[in-house]
Chain A
Amino acid sequence: MSSVRAPSRLGGLVLAAIFAFLYVPIAVLVLLSFNASGLPTAWTGFSLKWYGALAGNANILHAAWNTLVVGLAATAISTVLGTLLAIGLETRRRKGTAIEALAFAPMVIPDIVLAVALLTFFSSLDITLGLPTIVVSHVIFDLAFVNAVVRARLKHFDFSIVEASRDLGAGYVTTFRRILLPALAPAIIAGALLAFTLSIDEFIIAFFTAGAGRSSITLPMQIYSMIRFGITPEVNALATLVMGLSATVLMISQWLNKEQAP
């Protein structure tokens, strides 16, 4: 239809402006991370020296390692829980309004509220704060997002393949393993990748549930303390690496999820 699909010059202009607003600040950051002087005042040539400085910074490497451990553990747990939840909710014969609300809540509850709630909870039970408590906390919102991604796929899923499998002689477990999970695999992996990026980027909840001391500091916590300290070329380099990793993972996730969407 011409009236709505006509490529419009004004539309192009609007999009160019919005994309500039969204991407120029990030692009500046990336550019500065390669600036030999490290300062925003003058370009003194291309250099990787700030990345070299990162590699020599034990604090950052330690934080990066913690982040990876938390991200992988939280992703593994939340992928299993979120996928089962999505399948369960989608195949329920009764409407589960309370469960739906429970699964939706982590996406809208203010981070700070969840963070203080978890801190209160863990300390009232005398649980030592550390990487395990961060993982437990991250699983909460990670599983909500895995659930959302997998459910979106299930909305146009032909469940008759599950019945076909039973009809051909497969039991419940075999059907789950050989039919349902492989057919949902792209969405499950996409959800897992999203959970992973959310987890490695999450700051406030990790900050409250990590406990005192440096031992369980994560990369976003490290970045936060560096930013508060001031702008340094190392932060630019670190930020570039973190953004690059997130963007790559997200693009893979998007690509996977589109492959089998109807």
Chain B
Amino acid sequence: MSPPDMKSGLLVTPAVAWLVIFMLAPCLLVLSYAFLERGTWGGVEYTLTLENIARAFDPLYARVFLTSARIAALATLFAVLLAYPAAYAIARAPRRWQPVLLFFAVLPFWSNYLIRTYAWIVLLNREGLVNNLLKALGYRGEPLSMLYSEPAVILGLVYNYLPFVILAIYSALSRLNPELIEASHDLGGGALRTFWRVTLPLSLPGVAAGGVFVFVLSIGNFVTPALLGGGRFQMIGNLVYDQFLAANDWPFGAALGMVLIAIMTALLLVQARLAARAGGDTARPA
């Protein structure tokens, strides 16, 4: 039955007001800064200009965007490659175990991001556990410097966002009507062919949702490059941070933020389209 009239307009008002005042207005404000000139001591001069936007596409910064995009894309790829088998294994586990497995797969995601990143510093630094382990195994060379590198940043991103991708793919797989798989077997499809022709295509919306999420959060990430990249190379997030807290060039920081939001919006729209197109008749019967 349809829900009753609960004076819904009244109920949503406080939250909507909060979000409009403290999220929408600040975001629009900062975006408007992108079209203003920087002030001498931080802040802005109220003179319209397109210079900041143009500067964001300067080769120097375009390279940062490309680096960020490459790192985010690789993180997305590895996260999906690791998450798919894990989600598949959870979806095939006995039914009563599934919620528990899923909960523990997702648990780290909700806990402290800094600490999870820090854990990798402990493991990967020159006096860290991995190097000690290698020494114990008879490795006699110089300690490996694994930290402060692009692979370390990618590893950190994969580690942090993997749980969410598992969750997204699992929910697509668990919504799959098992009769579809039975039907494929019944029609003579072997296990591999069934997976390739039925399960995988039908779980792609989950892959897309998880993937877009990792990409969006990675490309705008600030903590992981700062800690695991050691400030040696920059991603957009760090660039934005620097413009606001170090270089005091707020308009340019705002322009970079605007590009970030544009990328995010475009990806979310693509994902929504994919999800809508795949939203056909694949669900379990109610």
Whether chain A touches chain B in the assembled complex (some CB pair under 8 Å): yes
Taking the complex as formed, is A82 at the interface, i.e. its CB lies under 8 A from any CB of chain B?
yes
Q: Which of A4, A22, A41, A111 has the most CB of B within 10 A?
A: A22
Contacts A81-B14, A116-B244; is A231 near B3 (CB within 8 Å)? no
Taking the complex as formed, is B250 at the interface, i.e. its CB lies under 8 A from any CB of chain A?
yes
Q: Which residues of A contact B123 (CB under 8 A)?
A: 25, 28
Instruction: Give how many A-B residue pairs fall within 8 Å (CB-CB).
Output: 279
- At the interface with chain A, which of B50-58, B252-260, B273-281? B252-260
Contacts A40-B128, A121-B30; is A159 near B4 (CB within 8 Å)? yes
Closest to B243 in A: A116
CB of B122 within 8 A of CB of A8, answer no
Contact with B along A89-118 (1 / 0, CB 8 A): 111110010010011011011111110111
CB of A163 within 8 A of CB of B27, answer no
Q: Which of B1, B90, B222, B253 contacts A111 (CB under 8 A)?
A: B222
Closest to A141 in B: B23
Q: Which residues of B contact A40 (CB under 8 A)?
A: 122, 127-129, 132
Q: With A and B bound together, what is the CA distance between A238 and B86 in angstroms?
A: 31
Q: With A and B bound together, what is the CA distance between A22 and B268 in angstroms?
A: 27
State the majority secondary structure of interface residues on A: helix
**Chain A: how many interface residues by the 8 Å CB criterion?**
94
Contacts A28-B122, A84-B11; is A140 near B18 (CB within 8 Å)? yes
CB of A140 within 8 A of CB of B8, answer no
Taking the complex as formed, is A26 at the interface, i.e. its CB lies under 8 A from any CB of chain B?
yes
Q: Which residues of B contact A103 (CB under 8 A)?
A: 15, 19
Q: With A and B bound together, what is the CA distance between A26 and B220 in angstroms?
A: 25
Contacts A18-B86, A102-B24; is A110 near B253 (CB within 8 Å)? no
Taking the complex as formed, is B137 at the interface, i.e. its CB lies under 8 A from any CB of chain A?
no
Taking the complex as formed, is A5 at the interface, i.e. its CB lies under 8 A from any CB of chain B?
yes
- At the interface with chain A, which of B59-67, B108-116, B200-208? B108-116
Q: Which residues of A contact B103 (CB under 8 A)?
A: 254
CB of B26 within 8 A of CB of A117, answer yes
Q: With A and B bound together, what is the CA distance between A246 and B2 in angstroms?
A: 37
Taking the complex as formed, is A120 at the interface, i.e. its CB lies under 8 A from any CB of chain B?
yes
Q: Which residues of B contact A6 (CB under 8 A)?
A: 92
Taking the complex as formed, is B140 at the interface, i.e. its CB lies under 8 A from any CB of chain A?
no
Contacts A108-B268, A120-B254, A227-B227; is A84 near B14 (CB within 8 Å)? yes
Q: Which residues of B contact A1 (CB under 8 A)?
A: 178, 181-182
CB of A112 within 8 A of CB of B222, answer yes
Residues of B within 8 A of A (CB): 1-16, 18-20, 22-27, 29-30, 33, 43, 82, 85-86, 88-95, 99, 101, 103-105, 107-108, 110-116, 118-123, 125, 127-129, 132, 159, 162-163, 166, 178, 181-182, 185, 191, 213, 216-217, 219-223, 227, 237, 240-241, 244-245, 250, 253-254, 257, 260-261, 264, 268
